[in-house]
Amino acid sequence: MNNKIIKEETKKTNTMEFEGRGLNFKVELLNQRKLCNTISGVDIQEVDDFVLNTGLSEREDLDIPTHSEPEVIRHFTRLSQKNYSIDTGFYPLGSCTMKYNPRVNELVARLPGFSNIHPLQDESTVQGALELMYELQNWLKELSGLDAVSLNPAAGAHGEYAGIRTIKQAHLKKENTPRKYIIIPDSAHGTNPATAVSCGYDIIMAKTTNEGYCDLAEIEEIILKHGKEIAGIMLTNPNTSGKFEKDIIKIADLIHSIGAYFYCDGANFNAIVGNIKPADLGIDVMHFNLHKTFSTPHGGGGPGCGPIAVCNKLKPYLPVPFADFKNGKYELIRETNDTIGQLKNFYGQFALMVRALSYMLSNGKNGLSQVSKDAVLSANYIQKSLEEHYHLAYSGHCMHECLFTDKKQKASGITTVDIAKSLVEYGFHPMTMYFPLTVSGAMLIEPTETETKETIDKFIETLIFIADKVEHGDIEEIKSFPISTPKRRLNETEAARNPILTWYQIPN
């Protein structure tokens, strides 16, 4: 029925243009909406005796659509209604940790004492901001067990870059060579190899075993072959197959035996936060995704925040600036002898630091320990409940995410993308698709700790329902999903073949 209505709507009726149907509002782009005659959606004083003192002629060709304030409100409100969000439903994206975003974090980040201060104000006027940074550094030191923290990196991948650069700097200072290789497991996030190459390294891929762990024997072999040409390893723990790397201490020992460093991608830190200290595992440097583990909103693609923590051996190379406390006052250390330097404007994603600390304070050590326990419990509960219906990539318990594949459904012509689009149809955001690359048709599910058992049960039931539909041969229907969304399946190939990236490029 719904499908039919949408189809009718798209048949251009020659009687009148509708404003949509019911609550399915029509949305046009800003430049397609009728432009209003008011001067602007913001009242701004007009300058009468204007004198141009720019040394250049005044611009004439500015082309920005003009609307009133209510029109702008309506436009963006309607657009927002075309988005799925964590506040509207379950968002089990593996390795992305889409947990609930507390609103108190938003409130405190907007206190004028935090939001309305300039990074180049006199240090005496921003003692609170520096105190907050210092305290956050201490929380991250304690949670990681590492010795020093820089809050400078702007996002997870930026943190990776910072971490690998400190390793490079350490080798340069001690051995006059950065060394040549970084070992990266084949299950790693794509940012890991991209980061290592950005830092000037060659990659050696390490295989994943049939059980979903990093292959210790292969790492031994790589080390035997390349020895001190290896600068370090980039390992995600728990890894992207949902496993805690059980040989992690042996891997760390091997890496350290050749004077190389152990980098941990902290994307999956939520699985162990408040229960296990990464430093105890032999990790020398790691980044945190504050937006994941510590609940700052993902905002449809950012901003993120990716501080790094390092052991004492790497401390001299930390990016600047970072906060310190000396002689009764807080200060920014802007320069150290051996630092890799500064990685972004000013100091880091400060407003996200406020949110993250707010979350940490709200949870406390007892809460954070419960966070990882509940996240792991929920993932294992999903794994166990679905293992008869979907092919489980690796047997045994998982950490905070579980990994299935489309192997059981594939013979019917149904693949991961169809299962994902069916979930969309039934009101859920899909899991992470086709990642990790180590298994074909991967479906990586991460529930996090903030979902009720009822929601998780409903999600499980829905996936079982979809699996049953496949078994009963309802293939055509599944292939047609989603049908209840503002748009049906979109042609991504055409978008890339013939890019239309601005409203100026839209053909008439």
The reply to whether 420 sits near another protein by the rule CB under 8 A is yes
The backbone torsions φ and ψ at residue 202, rounded to the nearest 5 degrees and listed phi first, read -95, 150
CB of 234 to another protein, least distance (A): 11
The backbone torsions φ and ψ at residue 286, rounded to the nearest 5 degrees and listed phi first, read -145, 155
CB of 112 to another protein, least distance (A): 4
Nearer Cβ to another protein (114/261):
114
What Cα–Cα distance (Å) separates residue 318 from each residue in 157, 223, 262, 303, 307?
16, 27, 15, 22, 11
The reply to whether 62 sits near another protein by the rule CB under 8 A is yes
Query: Identity (one letter) of the amino acid at 316?
Result: P
Which residues 426-445 are close enough to bind another protein by CB under 8 A?
A: 429-430, 435
Which of 176, 366, 472, 476 contacts another protein by CB under 8 A?
Answer: 366
Query: Identity (one letter) of the amino acid at 177?
Result: T
Site string for another protein, 147-186 (x = CB under 8 A): -------xxxxx-xx---x---------------------
Q: Quick one: which segment of 221-229, 257-265, 446-454, 470-478 binds another protein (CB under 8 A)?
A: 446-454
Instruction: Give CA angle at 50 (48, 54), nearest 5°.
Output: 165
Q: Quick one: which segment of 255-263, 407-415, 462-470, 486-494 binds another protein (CB under 8 A)?
A: 486-494
Are the CB atoms for 354 and 114 separated by under 8 Å? yes
The reply to whether 20 sits near another protein by the rule CB under 8 A is no
Q: Quick one: which segment of 309-317, 364-372, 402-410, 462-470 binds another protein (CB under 8 A)?
A: 364-372
What is the Cα–Cα distance from 53 to 248, expressed in whole angstroms? 64
Nearer Cβ to another protein (410/479):
479
* Cα-trace Rg, the chain: 26
The reply to whether 244 sits near another protein by the rule CB under 8 A is yes
The reply to whether 494 sits near another protein by the rule CB under 8 A is yes
Are the CB atoms for 311 and 284 separated by under 8 Å? yes
What is the Cα–Cα distance from 286 to 278, expressed in whole angstroms? 8
Measured over the CA atoms of residue 208, residue 213, residue 218 and residue 224, the dihedral's sign is: positive
The reply to whether 464 sits near another protein by the rule CB under 8 A is no
Mapping DSSP to helix (H, G, I), strand (E, B) and coil, where does residue 369 land?
A: helix
CB of 259 to another protein, least distance (A): 21
What is the Cα–Cα distance from 443 to 321, expressed in whole angstroms? 40
The reply to whether 364 sits near another protein by the rule CB under 8 A is yes
The reply to whether 272 sits near another protein by the rule CB under 8 A is yes
Half-sphere exposure of 16 (CA within 13 A, CB side): 4
What is the Cα–Cα distance from 358 to 110, expressed in whole angstroms? 12
1 CB contacts (<8 Å, ≥6 apart)?
A: none
Q: Quick one: which segment of 5-13, 17-25, 408-416, 464-472 binds another protein (CB under 8 A)?
A: 5-13
Which of 5, 452, 461, 473 contacts another protein by CB under 8 A?
Answer: 452
CB of 407 to another protein, least distance (A): 22
CB of 472 to another protein, least distance (A): 23
Nearer Cβ to another protein (344/411):
344
What is the Cα–Cα distance from 156 to 347, expressed in whole angstroms? 16
Say which DSSP state 57 is in: P
Which of 349, 409, 416, 422 contacts another protein by CB under 8 A?
Answer: 349
Q: Quick one: which segment of 4-12, 18-26, 228-236, 255-263 binds another protein (CB under 8 A)?
A: 4-12
Which residues 205-234 are close enough to bind another protein by CB under 8 A?
A: none
Nearer Cβ to another protein (19/58):
58
The reply to whether 15 sits near another protein by the rule CB under 8 A is no
CB of 383 to another protein, least distance (A): 8
Which of 216, 258, 333, 377 contacts another protein by CB under 8 A?
Answer: 377
Contacts from 386-391 at CB under 8 Å and sequence distance 24+?
A: 386/460, 386/463, 386/464, 389/463, 389/464, 389/467, 389/468, 390/443, 390/463, 390/467
The reply to whether 257 sits near another protein by the rule CB under 8 A is no
Record the tokens describing residue 220, joined without a space: 């031994």
What is the Cα–Cα distance from 141 to 285, expressed in whole angstroms? 11
